[in-house]
Amino acid sequence: MLKTKNGCLYLPAGEMDYIRFGTGERTLVLLPGVGDGLKTVKGMALPFALLYRALTGDFTVYGFSRRRELPEHMTTREMAEDLNAAMEALELDRAAVVGVSQGGMIAQWLAIDHPDKVGRLVLTVTLARPNPVVKDVIERWSEMARREDYRGIMLDTAERSYSPRRLKAARMEYKLLGSLGKPKSFGRFLTQAESCLTHDAFDRLGEIPCPTMVIGGREDRIVTGAASEELAERIPNSELYMYDGLGHGLYEEAPDWLERVAAFCRGERENHG
């Protein structure tokens, strides 16, 4: 059922790590958030397959990192072009695309510029354009990255992502992560962080043609819950689900998030306010 693969694509723009798992007939693409700037999906096929094993029967799942070497000032739209090239290389079309946080920003541009690649779209804890909250957070993380304060980034991420019931355990986990696996360079992270501040697909969201589900947390302290509501208002043929009491880490905390995503990607639409 897992059938995992760790791969690397050698694209004209550069090398891109990806993973594949599952045996389903449908294709699902996962796009992680800005943490990809600190660690790519390289070698993570089995952990991801275990974490997302609920998907492995219905879908063949691909997880894509951004390319290994990112030029300064690269935008989310340019990252979507890389993703399109990767999907072309693997002959993937009409996939269900699930973007989390910055991954959701890239997914918006993929659906706008390459609608043939996206059959269904799930945007989780993301935004259409920057707001004061995300600007403050990203600028804080960027300053930590310039100081190479990996532990500080991890702890601040935990503080801003989780509900009080999850935060105590998350602090310990992220403190440990911050003590291990420090990246050799923070350049990729800084480029991805900047791309969040320049992302603006607001005026183009009406061009997204595919069925779309927007999922947000009302207590999101990174992109805000209002950002999810704004996305759903602007995207035609979309539905919105908001989690009360949860924030940016809801995809880890909400026990039904993965099944909600899987059901939508299978075509089992629901309507939520």
Secondary structure (H, E, C), 159-225: HHHCCHHHHHHHHHHHHHHHHCCCCCCCHHHHHHHHHHHHCCCHHHHHHCCCCEEEEEECCCCCCCH
Number of domains in the chain: 1
In this predicted structure, what is the pLDDT of residue 273?
39
Q: How many angstroms separate the CA atoms of 95 and 117, rounded?
A: 6
What is the pLDDT, as a whole number, of residue 271?
44
33 falls within a domain:
yes
8 Å CB contact between 63 and 17: no
Domain contains 176: no
Residue 14 belongs to a domain: yes
Residue 272's pLDDT is 43
Where residue 115 sits, what CATH number does that domain have? Answer: 3.40.50.1820
For the stretch 26-81, pLDDT in tens is: 999 999 999 999 999 999 999 999 999 999 999 999 999 999 999 999 999 999 99
Residue-averaged pLDDT of the chain: 94
Cα separation, 206 vs 72, whole angstroms? 29
> Does the residue 41 lie in any domain?
yes
pLDDT at 175 over 80: no
Give the pLDDT confidence of 212-271 residue by residue, as tens digits: 999 999 999 999 999 999 999 999 989 999 999 999 999 999 999 999 999 999 998 554
Give residue-wise pLDDT tens across range 96-147.
Answer: 999 999 999 999 999 999 999 999 999 999 999 999 999 999 999 999 999 9
Does residue 32 sit within a domain?
yes
Q: Would you say residue 172 lies in a domain?
A: no
Domain region containing 65: 5-128+199-265
Mean pLDDT within 165-173: 74
pLDDT at 1: 61
What pTM was computed for the model? 0.94
Backbone φ, ψ for residue 272 (5° rounding):
-135, 150
Q: What's the confidence (pLDDT) of residue 165?
A: 79
Per-residue confidence band for 178, with pLDDT thresholds at 50, 70 and 90: low
Per-residue pLDDT reduced to its tens digit, 202-222: 999 999 999 999 999 999 999
In a domain, 238, yes or no: yes
Report the pLDDT value the prediction gives residue 54, as an integer from 0 to 100: 93
For residue 195, which phi and psi values (nearest 5 degrees)?
-65, -25
Give the pLDDT score at 2: 84
- Any alpha helices (H) in 52-201, and if so which ranges? 76-89, 102-113, 132-146, 150-161, 164-179, 187-198
Q: What is the mean pLDDT of residues 184-209?
A: 97
In this structure, what token pair is assigned to residue 34? 């800005």
The token duo for 127 is 């935004």
